[in-house]
Amino acid sequence: MPNLSLSARLAAIVVTALLAVWIILLSSYYLSNGLRRAAALPTPQQVAAIAAVVRETEVGRRPELLAAFNSAILDLRIEDDLTSSGAGIDVDVMSEDRFAPYRDLLGDRLLAVTLLARNGERSSLPRLFGGQNNPVEFTVALEGTAVLILETRTPFLVASNGLPAGLGAGLFGTLAALVAILMLHRELKPLRRLAAAVDQMDPAAAPVSVPDVRFSAPETRTLVRAFDRLQNRLHSVIAGRFALIGGIQHDVRTFATRLRLRVEQIHDEAERERAVADIGDMIMLLDNALLAGRAGVGSLDEELLELASIVEVEVLEGEIPASSRTLSISPAARKAMLIGDRLALRRIVANLVGNAVKYGRVAHVSLDVEGSSIVLTVDDEGPGIAQENRDSLFEPFVRLDPSRARKTGGAGLGLAVVRNLVEAHAGSIAVSEAPGGGARFVVLFPLFLMEDTDR
């Protein structure tokens, strides 16, 4: 069974299902007295001939003659009078067009043609298999009050145990159909689990576990194992690339430090300050890239932190003049805790505040708690950000200011790094319009709750 291909298994499932459907139709045919008769009714000539032979036979020998005529599809009997036994359920169909040949040939001797009731009621099922399933009774006059009754029958085929033929096949087909359904569910379950694993795949996290497919079809095993190898290769390649970036950053910082020491020897103070600023920007760019890379492969440190203290340090103790920033922290936010990386959180605050001062002159920072989230809001007093530019604002190397002058500086990585770091903390960031007309950046971090430690 494990070596059967998926196509072979599906073919077996389809064949079994078709067999089950066929058996069900056969069973319904049996239940409706459904053997189609090769000759559903005796011909008019047969009825006339039988009536003539019976009429010409001596009364004492008629029982032997009737016994000779009786068969599985025809029952003959003689009665002394024409008495209905259908209790109002039998239906006289003598006037129907299909019995016109009988009327023409037998004439007045044909007294009645009756559609007999079966099991107490007339069949109302559609004639799916052709012909009428209910028995038909012909009543032909003999001599005096005696009448000959010819009743057609629709026989059932029965097995040696007396049960209808095909009943065992029907039961087997039903069980086979059930097994087919279970097989189909079993074959599709690994594929559904693989789809769920693909949805959970994240380069920033460890490789996801794949479903156990040891007893699945070869194609399914090949697919699942190929996906497992792919995600492991991707994880290794990404980790290797960022390890390389980290090594390059370390070496570049070393050379930048040496270069800065040499720059300090420049006698022109203005040139010396510009050179130092350039080196600082270069180091900042490398730091941003490395930090974003660590977030991309899930390498950020995790510890329980008070975001309020980090915001206070970056806003109040940074290089931003007091006249260019304000800070408001609610009492609830001062007690709020979250799980995160201290360096990454500092970079988020620093980048947002630095952008607000750079492009909007003033940074109004507030920290609050809403529901199960810590909300960091940074407003500025600049011209704001147009609605059509907000979606692209967080893309790498995108700067709404077309100038690359050193007055504003940067390479358009600041907000892209912020978004990566926020999402690495399971948070979200959005940009809108501040009440004063400038830009507003709102960052939501998941609040650490004591209940989380009990789960």
Q: Is residue 194 part of a domain?
A: no
Whether the CB-CB separation of 446 and 428 falls below 8 Å is answered with no
Q: What local confidence, expressed as pLDDT, does residue 163 receive?
A: 57
- Of 258, 308, 292, the C-alpha closest to 422 is 292
Sheet of strand 428-433, all strands in order from the earlier edge strand to the far edge: 325-329, 363-370, 373-379, 439-446, 428-433
Stated as kind and residue range, the H or E segment containing 384 is none
At residue 149, the 3 state secondary structure works out as strand
Using CA atoms, how far apart are residues 455 and 450, in angstroms rounded to an integer? Answer: 10
pTM of the prediction? 0.48
292 and 323 share one domain: no
27 and 167 share one domain: yes
332 and 433 share one domain: yes
Tally of CA atoms within 13 A in the half-sphere of 411 that contains its CB: 13
Q: What local confidence, expressed as pLDDT, does residue 240 receive?
A: 73
Task: Point out the domain boundary residue: 273, 299, 325.
Answer: 299
Strands (E), 284-348: 303-305, 325-329, 338-340
288 and 377 share one domain: no
Identity (one letter) of the amino acid at 323? S
Q: Is residue 378 part of a domain?
A: yes
Domain count, the chain: 4
Identity (one letter) of the amino acid at 128? L
Q: What local confidence, expressed as pLDDT, does residue 403 receive?
A: 44
Tokens found for residue 98: 């299909």
Q: Is residue 118 part of a domain?
A: yes
**CATH code of the domain covering residue 255:** 1.10.287
390 and 267 share one domain: no
376 and 425 share one domain: yes
Stated as kind and residue range, the H or E segment containing 61 is none
314 and 439 share one domain: yes
Whether the CB-CB separation of 344 and 423 falls below 8 Å is answered with no
* Contact partners, residue 227, CB within 8 Å, separation at least 6: 194, 197, 198, 210
**CATH code of the domain covering residue 140:** 3.30.450
Locate all alpha helices (DSSP H) within 70-166, ordered by sequence.
Answer: 100-106
Task: Point out the domain boundary residue: 299, 320, 354.
Answer: 299
Q: What local confidence, expressed as pLDDT, does residue 127 receive?
A: 41
Which residue matches tokens 């180091």?
Answer: 283
Using CA atoms, how far apart are residues 309 and 174, in angstroms rounded to an integer? Answer: 70
356 and 339 share one domain: yes
Q: Is residue 37 part of a domain?
A: no
145 and 165 share one domain: no
Per-residue pLDDT of the chain (455 residues; tens, 9 = 90+): 456 666 567 667 777 777 777 777 766 666 664 444 444 578 899 999 998 999 888 888 888 888 888 887 888 998 886 654 444 456 788 888 888 999 899 888 888 888 876 554 444 434 433 444 578 889 998 888 889 999 887 665 555 554 565 666 667 767 777 777 777 777 778 888 888 888 877 766 677 787 777 777 787 888 888 888 888 888 777 777 766 666 666 677 777 778 878 787 788 888 877 887 777 777 777 776 666 666 665 667 788 999 999 999 989 887 788 888 999 999 999 999 999 888 889 889 988 998 899 888 899 999 999 999 999 999 999 888 888 888 788 877 666 654 434 445 555 667 888 888 898 888 999 999 998 888 999 999 999 886 655 55
Whether the CB-CB separation of 417 and 287 falls below 8 Å is answered with no
Identity (one letter) of the amino acid at 341? D
Whether the CB-CB separation of 352 and 314 falls below 8 Å is answered with no
Using CA atoms, how far apart are residues 143 and 450, in angstroms rounded to an integer? Answer: 105
The vertex-26 CA angle with 124 and 169, nearest 5°, equals 145
Using CA atoms, how far apart are residues 367 and 308, in angstroms rounded to an integer? Answer: 7
Whether the CB-CB separation of 357 and 337 falls below 8 Å is answered with no
Per the document, the length of the chain is 455
Using CA atoms, how far apart are residues 103 and 107, in angstroms rounded to an integer? Answer: 5
- Of 296, 304, 298, 235, the C-alpha closest to 445 is 304
- Of 319, 379, 313, 320, the C-alpha closest to 346 is 313
The whole domain housing 230 covers: 202-299
Q: What local confidence, expressed as pLDDT, does residue 353 receive?
A: 92
Whether the CB-CB separation of 156 and 30 falls below 8 Å is answered with yes
At residue 433, the 3 state secondary structure works out as strand
Which residue matches tokens 């920072």?
Answer: 365
* Contact partners, residue 48, CB within 8 Å, separation at least 6: 105, 106
Q: Is residue 423 part of a domain?
A: yes
92 and 10 share one domain: no
End-to-end alpha-carbon separation of the chain, Å? 42
219 and 248 share one domain: yes
- Of 114, 120, 116, 124, the C-alpha closest to 92 is 114
The vertex-50 CA angle with 49 and 54, nearest 5°, equals 120
Using CA atoms, how far apart are residues 61 and 104, in angstroms rounded to an integer? Answer: 29
Using CA atoms, how far apart are residues 75 and 94, in angstroms rounded to an integer? Answer: 19
Tally of CA atoms within 13 A in the half-sphere of 351 that contains its CB: 29
Q: Is residue 310 part of a domain?
A: yes
Using CA atoms, how far apart are residues 355 and 1, in angstroms rounded to an integer? Answer: 64
Q: Is residue 261 part of a domain?
A: yes
Task: Point out the domain boundary residue: 242, 270, 299.
Answer: 299
320 and 421 share one domain: yes
Q: Is residue 272 part of a domain?
A: yes
* Contact partners, residue 381, CB within 8 Å, separation at least 6: 360, 361, 362, 434, 436, 437, 438
